[in-house]
Every structure is written in C-alpha cells, then in structure tokens.
Amino acid sequence: MDVIDEWTGRTACALQAALRMSNERFANHLGIGVRTVAAWHENPATVPQSETQQILDTAYERATASVHRRFALLSRPAVPAQALRVAIAVVRRDDMVLLVCRRGDDALSWQFPAGMVKPGRSPAVVAVEETAAETGVRCTVRQHLGSRVHPVTGVVADYQLAEYLMGEAENRDPLENAEVAWVPIKQLSRFIPEQTIYPPILEALA
C-alpha cells in the first residue's frame, strides 16, 4: 500500500473512482459535504484541509487490496502525449537539392526527405538515417533551420540543413515514393510551391 504524502482534489477523486462511488456515496463515506467532493472534481489541484487529509488517510487505509490497486493506477500522473514530429532533411549538393516524390491518396507531391521522430531520438540523426533509407544518399547535418507546425499536415516539422557526402540518388522506398531526384535550387518552386516552403529553407539555399 502506497503512502500518500498529501491529498489533492485529483488523488481524492482517484480514491473515489477506485471505490466506485458516486459523489453522494463518497461524501457519506467520508462524512463530508457533497459540495466538497464536487469542488475536488472542479479543481483537482486543490489541497484539502488537514482534518480532511486525515479522513482521506483513514478511508484509504481501510480500503481493500483491490481498491488500493485501482487507486495506484488511477492516481498516476498523466503522461502528456507527444505531438507527432517529423525530421525533414534539406540536402544540398552544390547548386542542387534532394527531393522525393511522395505517393499521396489522390496525387503525387514533391517533398524533402523526412522521417518520423520517436520519443528520445534526435531529429538530426533521424533526418540523416531517413535520407539514406529513402534515397541512398549519405549526408551530414550542418544546421538546424528551426521547427514549425506544418500548415498542411499539422505535425511538428523539424528542419535540418544537410550537406551531401556520397551515394547515388535512387528510389529505395517505392511503396512510399514514386521518384527521387536532384533538383536545381533555382527551380525548386517548380516542384514545391514557394508559399508552402519554410522561409528559413529559402534563406539557407539562397
């Protein structure tokens, strides 16, 4: 059985849920007013007075082992969901930039190589690895260009400016991509509409 250092509205409500009681039953069980229980639901951060702390201690200590197990699960701090993040590699080779032609639901679209960033992974490393996996091109990241919520996809896009090292560009992921190509930087807007390109990319390639 865990020891509760300090009860809050959130943990008190977790005990109520573990006991499977309504507000009225829980209030009667503790010998307090229903409005107090309702206030805990409205403001989970509230800290009950010392007398109420003791009442909650007693209710918890007298509960069954199954209630203790449910309470342990219900009272765990919520883990915030991580926003979907992708690492995007802007790979430059002299006056050319590397693009892949993605297969979409309705049409093809030219994009920079990119890959999903899992929790704990470095976007720079993912950018390099995904570029090699998709195109066969080896590169090294030279500059982090910034991040934004992508205006079309809504995911967090992390942009890495990379320099070509070696390898011939080829389509190594034919299920996802239709083509891979080195495109002249001056003609980039013919492949990707300029208004959708992250401005720091245009500045870095200028």
Region of 120 please: left (phi>0), alpha (psi -120 to 50) or beta.
left
Say how far apart CA 123 and CA 82 lie, in whole Å. 14
Whether residue 67 is found in the same domain as residue 90: no
Whether residue 40 is found in the same domain as residue 108: no
Whether residue 114 is found in the same domain as residue 163: yes
Whether residue 138 is found in the same domain as residue 184: yes
pLDDT recorded at residue 155: 87
pLDDT recorded at residue 154: 79
Average pLDDT over residues 77-96: 83
Per-residue pLDDT band for 79 (boundaries 50, 70, 90) equals low
Mean pLDDT across the chain:
91
Whether residue 103 is found in the same domain as residue 156: yes
Whether residue 173 is found in the same domain as residue 118: yes
Amino acid (one-letter) located at 133: A
Whether residue 57 is found in the same domain as residue 134: no
> What's the CATH code of the domain at 103?
3.90.79.10
**Which residue range forms the structural domain that includes residue 185?**
85-205
Say if 193 falls within a structural domain.
Answer: yes
Residue 93 reports pLDDT greater than 90: yes
Whether residue 169 is found in the same domain as residue 95: yes
Average pLDDT over residues 105-117: 89
Number of domains forming the structure of the chain: 2
